[in-house]
Structure 1
């Protein structure tokens, strides 16, 4: 983090803004397809479309700390947007862990990028994990916001072990697909402008 410059922080801010724009597009598309239950697939939907932001950050700001900052931005968003009280924790943990994998390990670049991106996408699970692991507290939080019993029952209806496994699997699969799409975009539009080789990050 000491090597960060003002320009790096500005760049992270720009990438964070693009990230949230892509997330908003994913949320809109999911809502159109899944209605009230779309919230469960926001992490995987975002993973599908936001890979290019991750690639640009790791290539244009190749320093430990950039991914962590993006995770902290997610955490701040969850803290101040009325989500469940502990929703920010996965964003911090997954952001730091992805950063460590990306910049502090000796894994091959393809593996580092794919593993880091996949783990980072779990940073968006903070608002939904309490539905499985802290359900009573989650119900109380919804009730305190004025949600009636029928709404709470309806929104928790699909919460079971099978849907939990489906969400985990969808995040992993969408991270792989999303990074593959992002790599094609990066190689076509960005790599040559930076004098980088055309070797794919993920094939």
Structure 2
């Protein structure tokens, strides 16, 4: 297994920054298109548009650890930007799982990349999962940040079990479609084919 070098870390940092930019643009658009639901569907929409970034990362830094670093940085961003304290864990864990799938399994190339990206994409559900599974603690964190009852009620207005299922399904669909779009873009604008690397 090849170790990450300084130039690899720099490349991961660049692709992570681009990933952040895409996520921010998606969030901005969703605020106008589906206000009130934008936070719930940002994982799915980000997965839809970020497949190309993921594929470039695999192509340019085909080493175990790159995916984990990207997911960890995203998770730490959530932590320092005021999200629920445990919101960063799913990003880190899903990124590590995606790394293991990509470089430690014997799945066929395309299947491995797809499974890896799907798992990675579910990490973005970290900031919204506490709405369902740690509601009281989440409310306490909002109160501690000075949020009033109206704001808190708005945060939980759409957190039904059905909505949780829809969010998860949307992430799955977004990741599958996003990787398909990313593959086409790779073939057209970057390399003839994306190499499915495995350590």
| TM-score normalised to structure 2 length | 0.94
Structure 1 partner of 2:90: 90
- For residues 46-91 of structure 1, what are the alpha-carbon distances to aligned partners after superposition, in whole Å with 9 as ceiling and x for unaligned? 0011111100011111100000000110121011111101011101
Instruction: Give, in whole Å, the separation in 2 of the partners of 1:128 and 1:46.
Output: 14
Structure 2 residue runs without a partner (length 5+): none
Instruction: Give, in whole Å, the separation in 2 of the partners of 1:81 and 1:47.
Output: 21
What is the CA-CA distance between 1:198 and the residue it aligns to? 7.6
Structure 1 partner of 2:182: 182
Tell me if structure 2 keeps the 8 A contact 1:90–1:124.
yes
CA shift in 2, pair 1:82/1:163, >3 Å: same
What is the CA-CA distance between 1:153 and the residue it aligns to? 1.1
- For residues 15-52 of structure 1, what are the alpha-carbon distances to aligned partners after superposition, in whole Å with 9 as ceiling and x for unaligned? 01111111111111111111132000111010011111
Structure 2 partner of 1:48: 48
Tell me if structure 1 keeps the 8 A contact 2:2–2:63.
no
Instruction: Give, in whole Å, the separation in 2 of the partners of 1:127 and 1:141.
Output: 13
Instruction: Give, in whole Å, the separation in 2 of the partners of 1:164 and 1:144.
Output: 25
Structure 1 partner of 2:13: 13
Instruction: Give, in whole Å, the separation in 2 of the partners of 1:112 and 1:31.
Output: 33
For residues 45-194 of structure 1, the aligned pairs below 5 Å read 45-192=45-192
Instruction: Give, in whole Å, the separation in 2 of the partners of 1:176 and 1:2.
Output: 28
Tell me if structure 1 keeps the 8 A contact 2:52–2:186.
yes
What is the CA-CA distance between 1:140 and the residue it aligns to? 0.9
Instruction: Give, in whole Å, the separation in 2 of the partners of 1:71 and 1:198.
Output: 21
Aligned residues: 196
